Copies of this chain bind each other. A is one copy, B any other.
């Protein structure tokens, strides 16, 4: 039933009312969204972040040259006179623009907002053209790998608290990738485009990735095979893999790769102190598409529950080989050059950050909510002001005013003479726990009949005690 209803809704979205790849949130979905946001924001605040906001559109030139091959997915606004504008593609570039514009060299901030990509929507799998990102970034000149490790700690905390099943955080470093490309014989000017192809390894088998490198990107077969040896063979590990690669006769020829590998080792030592190595793997095949990364990169994926047990190499990082990924839910990395691109003098501000992509998380939470018997409340109303008799509209409005003025969340039916039954039904449907019932007799006696919806118990309460009684009965213990 639900399955069919959803398909019909999707059809309506696609062909009639709203733009392809976008959706409305109904009150139930909003209640779930609020819960997810609260968990994420609490974590960001626990780590001392401030928050900022930026406009939904940026000057087109601000976004130009930042996203590599993904630039074609940027939404432009129509030229209606004035500046050329584009919808933001992520929150990282606007953040870098904000830092340069305000000459800020030190900040730890979070930003939760919608971003826009003209991608092929796959809404059943939580891929939309308008979607939320929850970003946490640390800008400033600090000692190596400490802020980077905190970003991973944050991903670990959020995914654990949301209780979405098992997950894995893959880590790599652009310097290691670049070093590897160099020692495998990739020409310098092909680093970024080959990196984009390596990024597809989580969706395509190695053979297809190799084909793209050789046939489309014009890489020599030999270089491709050498890359294959690294990314397809010694994929995932922990500190031990970093150590092994540092000993590797070819890899050790690249200064860049060695710097990256040493930092991976340092990172893991901090991750041990942060108690998160159980979920983190050093994965040579992780590339990430965006152009602006300069150091460490990472991506968190949910692993299909039950498919594979997590091997707990708590000291060295876990082994991800057997588990099946069901999709990325967070990603990020270090981008030390981006702020400088917006500064007239090119002054750099080192940055590292993480972006939680919550649409997939929403999908999972929604499925969970549907599966559970518990009803999601969409309002917080404490009491309904009702009457059993006719001609008491004025008295109901007077009482509900008293309650509102005292800060009680209260509702009244917008009818002159509503039936008591329909007033009670509304309470049942929307989970309102109490009803304050007025009648001629109660008014004469200066009392209100307070009914507990769940038990149908009714007690007369002196009008002067009503607000405190409602508060007492609806306070969350």
Residues of A within 8 A of B (CB-CB), count: 84
**Given known A-B contacts A27-B51, A97-B17, A273 and B410 have beta carbons under 8 A apart:** no
What's the least CB distance linking A354 to chain B, in Å?
15
Copies of this chain, whole number: 2
In the complex, which residues of chain B have a beta carbon less than 8 angstroms from the beta carbon of A52? 24-27, 30
Contact in complex: B101, A12 (CB < 8 Å)? yes
Contact in complex: A27, B404 (CB < 8 Å)? no
- A398 within 8 Å of B (CB atoms): yes
What's the least CB distance linking A359 to chain B, in Å?
13
A window 250-286: CB within 8 A of B = 270, 273-275
Contact in complex: B24, A379 (CB < 8 Å)? no
Contact in complex: B78, A410 (CB < 8 Å)? no
Contact in complex: B80, A51 (CB < 8 Å)? no
- A415 within 8 Å of B (CB atoms): yes
Comparing A40-48, A291-299, A446-454, the segment that makes contact with chain B is A40-48
25 A-B contact pairs sorted by A residue (CB < 8 Å): A16-B101, A17-B62, A17-B97, A18-B101, A19-B55, A22-B57, A24-B53, A26-B102, A27-B50, A33-B53, A46-B410, A47-B410, A47-B411, A48-B379, A50-B378, A57-B130, A75-B77, A77-B77, A146-B393, A146-B414, A153-B404, A270-B397, A273-B397, A273-B401, A275-B405
- A58 within 8 Å of B (CB atoms): yes
What's the least CB distance linking A374 to chain B, in Å?
18
What's the least CB distance linking A134 to chain B, in Å?
15
CA distance A401 to B46 in the complex (A): 11
Q: A55: which of B23, B83, B146 is its contact (CB, 8 Å)?
A: B23
A window 384-410: CB within 8 A of B = 393-394, 397-398, 401, 404-405, 407-410
CA distance A113 to B9 in the complex (A): 24
What's the least CB distance linking A294 to chain B, in Å?
17
Closest to A275 in B: B401
- A66 within 8 Å of B (CB atoms): no
In the complex, which residues of chain B have a beta carbon less than 8 angstroms from the beta carbon of A192? none
A window 212-262: CB within 8 A of B = none
CA distance A58 to B20 in the complex (A): 10
In the complex, which residues of chain B have a beta carbon less than 8 angstroms from the beta carbon of A109? 27
CA distance A107 to B23 in the complex (A): 19
- A183 within 8 Å of B (CB atoms): no
CA distance A393 to B179 in the complex (A): 30
Residue-wise, chain A 139-165 has the 8 Å CB interface mask toward B (1 for contact) of 010110011001001000100000000
In the complex, which residues of chain B have a beta carbon less than 8 angstroms from the beta carbon of A97? 17-18
Binding site for B on A (CB under 8 A): 12, 16-20, 22-27, 30, 33, 45-59, 62, 75-80, 82-83, 85, 87, 97-98, 100-102, 107, 109, 114, 116, 118, 130, 138, 140, 142-143, 146-147, 150, 153, 157, 270, 273-275, 342, 378-381, 393-394, 397-398, 401, 404-405, 407-411, 414-416
Q: A409: which of B26, B46, B405 is its contact (CB, 8 Å)?
A: B46
Contact in complex: B19, A85 (CB < 8 Å)? yes
In the complex, which residues of chain B have a beta carbon less than 8 angstroms from the beta carbon of A404? 46-47, 153, 157
In the complex, which residues of chain B have a beta carbon less than 8 angstroms from the beta carbon of A51? 27, 30, 378
CA distance A370 to B49 in the complex (A): 22
**Residue among A18, A100, A410 with most chain B CB within 10 A:** A18
Contact in complex: A414, B142 (CB < 8 Å)? yes
Q: A19: which of B59, B78, B80 is its contact (CB, 8 Å)?
A: B59
CA distance A87 to B87 in the complex (A): 10
Contact in complex: A30, B50 (CB < 8 Å)? yes
What's the least CB distance linking A370 to chain B, in Å?
17
Closest to A98 in B: B24
Contact in complex: B76, A76 (CB < 8 Å)? no
In the complex, which residues of chain B have a beta carbon less than 8 angstroms from the beta carbon of A78? 75-79
